[in-house]
Amino acid sequence: MQYKDQQQHTNNKNTMIESTVLGKKVEYPQHYAPEVLVAVPRQINRKQYNIDDKNLPFLGVDTWHAYEIGFLTENGLPVVGILKMTYGANTPNIVESKSLKLYLNSFNMERYGTTAAEGYSILTDIITEDISKCIDGELEVCIFSPNEKPVPSAMTDYQLLEEQPFAKNLKITHFTEAPEILHSNGKQGYMAVMTHLLRSNCRVTHQPDWGTAYIYMNGQQLPTEESLLEYLISIRGENHFHEEICEMIYMRLWEIFKPDELMVACIYTRRGGIDICPSRSNRIELLPMGLTSAPLLTSKLLRQ
């Protein structure tokens, strides 16, 4: 399929998604409503980057935190919590975030368990079953009480690119993705860098999404920090879902620099009570364990 045909196919799929709940005024369901969940096939976007679902060039996890989870106990006492769910990048689908928000809020007036802990357990099982059907794969779900003490994030020791001396002299001219501006520094070794300047837009609604990108690379050649920051800023005008942005960055770095080790994580700001934090790597041990493990509630990072 030629690129133009791929784009038309993507646009047609986007229209189908938009015709459900995304970008539309929708009444919140008053009772449990699994039917509102919308599955988005990953392959819609992956085709343009030559990513084969059956032979992925990376491992990865999509991590979601939902801060608007609540229900009633059997005697009518409201219970709130924080939901964390994780599923692999190898699932055929992702769940569309607005539909997930509607779905989670459909529990608000339902009654589960005689205690908060019992309700958490019941709700965890229900959500796990429903979303696993939506994404057509396995996932892990945990619900934490408001008193849960988070563990420190492992996303440390990354150099902040925009605070480096070179940043103030950059002349930024690209605001749509421009991989051609990535240049090698001619050196082998490793780099661990981050930027809070990640910004992209929802693929369908074009609403802005803010985030922090974390990148670890080890190999025979590395990008210059200047060109890498310019490239990450160039994503500012792109219209993709969070998972797609992470995979786009990964694929560009993987194809251009052919590193021995590569990890990309995109920590996005919550919208509608939900944050989405995808991570991709060629080695499982490079994935940030605290972020990708559902039973661990980690301290929120700046963009969350």
**Is 231 in contact with 250 (CB distance < 8 Å)?**
no
**Is 67 in contact with 270 (CB distance < 8 Å)?**
yes
Please pick, among 134, 202, 266, 277, the residue that the annotation labels catalytic.
202
Q: Which residues contact 21 (CB under 8 A, 6 or more apart)?
A: 36, 38, 96, 98, 99, 102
Please pick, among 62, 134, 142, 209, the residue that the annotation labels catalytic.
209
| 275 annotated active-site | no
The CB-based long-range contact list for 164-170 (8 Å cut-off, 24+ gap) reads 164/225, 166/225, 166/226, 167/229, 170/226, 170/229, 170/230
| 246 annotated active-site | no
- Whole-angstrom Cα distance, residue 127 to residue 83? 10
- Whole-angstrom Cα distance, residue 182 to residue 27? 45
**Residue 94 bridge partners (DSSP):** 40
**Is 93 in contact with 135 (CB distance < 8 Å)?**
yes
**Residue 239 bridge partners (DSSP):** 201
- Whole-angstrom Cα distance, residue 243 to residue 250? 11
Q: Which residues contact 88 (CB under 8 A, 6 or more apart)?
A: 59, 60, 61, 62, 137, 138
- In the 8-state DSSP scheme, what is residue 179? G
- Whole-angstrom Cα distance, residue 209 to residue 79? 30
**Residue 151 bridge partners (DSSP):** 298
Active site positions, annotated: 202, 209
